[in-house]
Amino acid sequence: MRIAMYYNNRDVRLEEMPTPEIGPGELLVKVLASGVCGSDVMEWYRIKKAPLVLGHEITGEIVKVGEGVRQYKIGQRVFVSHHVPCNTCRYCLGGKHTACETLHTTNFYPGGFAEYIRVPPINVDRGVFLLPDEVSLEDGTFIEPLACVVRGQKLAGMMPDHTVLVIGSGISGILHIALAHALEVGRIIATDMNEHRMKLAKKFGADVVAHAKEDIPALVRRVNENRLADVVIVCTGALPAFTQALQSVDKGGTVLFFAPTEPGVNLPVPVNDFWRNGITLMPSYGAAPMDLTVALDLIRARRVPVHEMVTHRLGLAETGKGFQLVAGANESLKVIIEPQR
């Protein structure tokens, strides 16, 4: 079968490898759509394991069913989650599924930028979701990224009367804006350095959009009755964005670190002020099975217009171009790879 092998952001090669053989409890899925995630182009994060096949936002069709699998059959359209929790460790039992060691070590093989993937038994058990007829394969690739957003906003304690500031309007920021808009929060303010993405932020629900180089805390006060934001969501790894977030959160508010910085970057935090004002700093990584279920329901009900976010559809041989589009962050928003093309 054909695969797109990642060596670095500028070197993604179309190569061949044997189609995976499946064993008992496993599935073979023909990959029909696979989204390029912003984390796929975080080179510092990926290159240490290169060469490898990336791609974790996938939908496809079951083409083989292993012995003992009763709940799925050939021909069904599915979304497959790459990371799944054990559901029995102290982290899972405490609701912190994304801290589970099993979640950090599970995956399907070889990756979503391939014509076929082998789905291990644990993923078959708790990471395969049938796509309803009204959810397209393309829309289904948004289940995982939207689930991460669902989890993040849940952790941040989003409420209907909140003013939300989203810093960074790439695909993660746009999904946060669209979900906050669907939840009808009080006010959504969005920033970015890119004029095109600022327009997209407005399109998908931001009430106020500003260039990131503006005095954002002053702008928030100006449009928010002289108050800062109840929830600030950081969707870019640039350190100035993190600093800006700390300056833009209101008393009793929450800063959600949805994106990471590069390794070794430390963020100075005014602990004394935050201690006095009851401010919460909250990181968010990944999604749990329940978040995936909620995301699928939101997409099915068309509460979040994910289909309108796709800007590029490319064949497997063009995966390298897809990486360049996402890494360049110009006029691309969501790039979908179609491995059967």
Q: pLDDT (tens digit, 9 = 90+) per residue, 5-31?
A: 999 999 999 999 999 999 999 999 999
Does residue 272 carry a pLDDT above 90?
no
Q: Are residues 140 and 95 in the same domain?
A: yes
Q: What is the pLDDT of residue 88?
A: 97
**Dihedrals phi, psi of 7, to nearest 5 degrees:** -110, -40
- Residue range 184-207, pLDDT digits in tens: 999 999 999 999 999 999 999 999
- Between 273 and 153, the higher pLDDT residue: 153
CATH code for the domain in which residue 274 is found: 3.40.50.720
Q: Is the same domain home to 114 and 181?
A: no
Long-range contacts of 181-184 (CB under 8 A, 24+ apart): 181/205, 181/206, 182/298, 182/303, 182/304, 183/153, 183/158, 184/160
Instruction: Let me know whether 8 and 79 are in one domain.
Output: yes
User: Averaged over 37-51, what is the pLDDT?
Assistant: 89
Q: With 90 as the cut, is the pLDDT of residue 43 above it?
A: no
Note whether 262 and 299 are same-domain residues.
no
Q: What is the pLDDT of residue 145?
A: 98
- Number of domains the chain is built from: 2
Q: Are 18 and 124 contained in the same domain? A: yes
Is residue 126 located within the same domain as residue 72? Answer: yes
> Which residue range(s) make up the domain with 234?
157-283
pTM above 0.75, yes or no: yes
Q: Are residues 279 and 294 in the same domain?
A: no
Looking up residue 298, the CATH number of its domain turns out to be 3.90.180.10
Determine, yes or no, domain membership for 278.
yes
Considering the domain architecture, whether residues 83 and 180 belong to the same structural domain is answered as no
- Quick count: other Cβ atoms within 10 Å of Cβ 291? 22
Q: Are residues 124 and 95 in the same domain?
A: yes
